[in-house]
Structure 1
């Protein structure tokens, strides 16, 4: 059986590197998509978002606040307006992502200890830019608010140290972990590249057996294996570790360093986790290929199953906030468990023992799909062998 398995493995490797349907999908499309995704987010983070200023106060204080707001990373005042309607028009047409409004007599009211309301307008349809504008605007306005209180207290004769405490009784120390600069490329590129590989190996998996029918080589395959089902499924499965490793090296040695990563992904932890996920996808694809003979149908099944994986995985939106049926659907995808593990070992740099649960689930995907593919294809092969005798 070992000899048959080796023969099938060598044969499959030849097919991988000589049949366009295989080598284009495995070696040409992924690097192209990796670079395409990287170039989209090459600016790494959002800077200098166009913002509208509506200053009804026209005072020294409002001018100072405008200057401070302009110094932030995300706010860049590009339009000056004189009413709310004009501001909303600029935001609605996409010419600006937000607006700041200083009310009339703001400085005078502050000096008279009257409450003042400063307006921060954002386009929440663009979720990330609106949050960045709000965050930077609030930092400046809270600092200004503390400065106003401090000035009032010192004028009343309160000691400076006491006045500073009263102006800011609670100090807020914000420490963003794992991606402190809100870098788009460091957040999204690992996710987009891994979900691309997930789709590739699931798609290849559904072609592994069915493509033999299209090329009319199924009889040759069975004879080479000595009609050993395990040798056919196992030999083909083992052969695809070569393209898995090649794609891993392309990612970690070429793509990630090209877009500003170090070699932190060139590690056993990430390699092991990625191989498990891709193996699970391949085994699942092979099971679908064994179940159904029609190539178009199996390809549609693979695309239907893998296309929404990024959305359902929890990479950009927490799964616990999704409807219960979507949460169950997400659990059926190997990529979901890869993402859970990736956040721990890739983003947080935790040891592998923290992802024991995810590793176990991915191994279960591999074992279950592989064994069931053997049973289904073996049953189909036996039925076809008995047909002439009937």
Structure 2
């Protein structure tokens, strides 16, 4: 009978929390609609996953047949597109600074004349490298186009000597390089950025939702009493009952996100999708635990919401998506272990790219599981605070 009463208290708190979610549109929007919007936004923001047709310019000081041929070659490569022609370098630099273009090529005076006379000449390439990915693509696009021009003087000489094209290719590039971009052979930005970027944002939403949900009830004496009465005066029922609806919602979003990315969008995955969903569930539990623990330390809602937002933003950095953690200062590398998102990214990277991932990431899996200990600590701290707040007999 006592066991039935305890369970009824838990389910009563779950029902109460579900009613709060459905009766207040803002709660439902923050917990369900906005994460789904973020998911669709992240999966479509990169388009086809390739950076193409980046606008660039040409400063043609030679106005020769060869300089016009260079312009045509630059327009032919997929990475860049010649959109501007400038009379001088100053105009090109102004356009680069205003981001009308992301790079420009300077063809000097007497370029064709120097090439035909076998004199050394230089083509100057300037590109915006404040944007690393765009700058790299611009540089690669120009180099692909100019590689043909670079062998033109040698081609004219070898034709005069009667050397065939196959021998010319060997002379121009005696060492062949066979490049194999592993794990992302299509060089698709969506493949390796969409998944972690979504979860970096999702962890911030989880942190904020949990903290606000508990803060809205536990900072009001009347609501504290109501929660305890609903949970049959069992504080564990209150904690678990309030967490359950959010965990179910977040887990459902995680399942949908995995199906969307790995089944529908066909992102690379070298393990079973059930393994990914399991790790996502562990991550959701760990993030909820962190949020609840931080709230239990300091209950003033506006301040703790600000702190949790900062914690989530730092997690975006320590996740190691845009900059490798092992290249940071050692103290920051150690601090990254305090963020569930870091362990999640490590695990999912192995799951996505290695078929025997557990051999490499079992430590991170244990760390994710260990974060759930914080729920116990948070429950103890919150129980003490509630006892003082309502000035009743100690809670069970």
Query: How does the TM-score come out when normalised to structure 1?
Result: 0.86
State the match for 1:320 in structure 2: 326
Q: Please list every run of at least 4 consecutive aligned residues from structure 1 whose deviation after the TM superposition is greater than 6 angstroms.
A: 263-266
> Partners in 1 of 2:194 and 2:287 — Cα distance?
20
Contact residue 46 and residue 74 of structure 1 kept, 8 A: yes
Superposed CA offset, 1:27-61 (max 9, x none):
12211233344454335333212211122333333
**Contact 1:75-1:133 within 8 A present in 2 as well:** yes
Question: CA, structure 1 residues 116+181, in 2 after alignment: closer, same or farther (shift >3 Å)?
Answer: farther
Q: Which residue of 1 aligns with 2:158?
A: 153
**C-alpha contact (below 8 Å) 2:59/2:105 kept by paired residues:** yes
2:74–2:80 CA contact under 8 A, matched in 1: yes
Q: Separation in 2 of the partners of 1:178 and 1:267?
A: 17
Alpha-carbon contact 1:197-1:278 (below 8 Å) kept? no
Matched with 1:168 is 173
Correspondence 1:15 to 2:21: no
Rounded to whole Å, the distance in 1 between the matches of 2:19 and 2:49 is 35
Q: Is the 8 A contact 1:6 1:235 kept in 2?
A: no
Task: Give the match for residue 283 of structure 1.
Answer: 289
Distance change (3 Å), C-alpha of 1:197 and 1:29: same
The Cα shift of 1:298 comes to 2.4
C-alpha distance in structure 2 between counterparts of 1:386 and 1:80, whole Å:
78
Label 1:13 to 1:284 Cα distance change in 2 as closer, same or farther (>3 A). Answer: farther
Write the distance in 1 (CA, Å) between the matches of 2:156 and 2:7.
82
Structure 1 residue 141: Cα displacement:
2.0
Structure 1 stretch displaced more, 189-198 or 320-329: 320-329
Instruction: Tell me the C-alpha RMSD between the 2 structures.
Output: 3.0
For 1:96, the equivalent position in structure 2 comes to: 101
**Preserved CA contact (<8 Å) 1:208 1:286:** no
Q: In terms of mean alpha carbon deviation, does 128-137 or 238-247 score higher?
A: 238-247
Q: How many residues are aligned here?
A: 385
Alignment partner of 1:203 is 2:205 = no
Query: Are the counterparts in 2 of residues 17 and 23 from structure 1 also a CA contact under 8 Å?
Result: no
Please tell me whether residue 106 in structure 1 is matched to residue 111 in structure 2. yes
1:193 to 182, 188, 198: 198
Distance change >3 Å, CA 337–CA 147, structure 1 → 2: farther
Of stretches 208-217 and 266-275 in structure 1, the one that deviates more from structure 2 is 208-217
Q: Secondary structure at the match of 2:62?
A: coil
SS in 1 for 2:63: coil
Q: Tell me the residue number matched to 2:182.
A: 177
* Deviation of 1:2 (Å): 5.9
Query: Match of 1:100, SS?
Result: strand
In structure 2, the partner of 1:136 is 141
Q: Distance in 1 between matches of 2:30 and 2:8?
A: 24
Gapped runs of 5+ residues in structure 2? none
User: Is 1:85 aligned with 2:90?
Assistant: yes
SS at match of 1:95: coil
TM-score, normalised relative to structure 2 = 0.85
Structure 1 SS opposite 2:82: strand
Distance 1:105 1:338 in 2: 58
Task: Identify if the C-alpha distance between structure 1 residues 193 and 6 changes in structure 2 by more than 3 Å, giving closer, same or farther.
Answer: farther
In structure 1, list runs of 5 or more residues that go unmatched: none
Matched-pair contact (CA < 8 Å) for 2:287–2:340:
yes
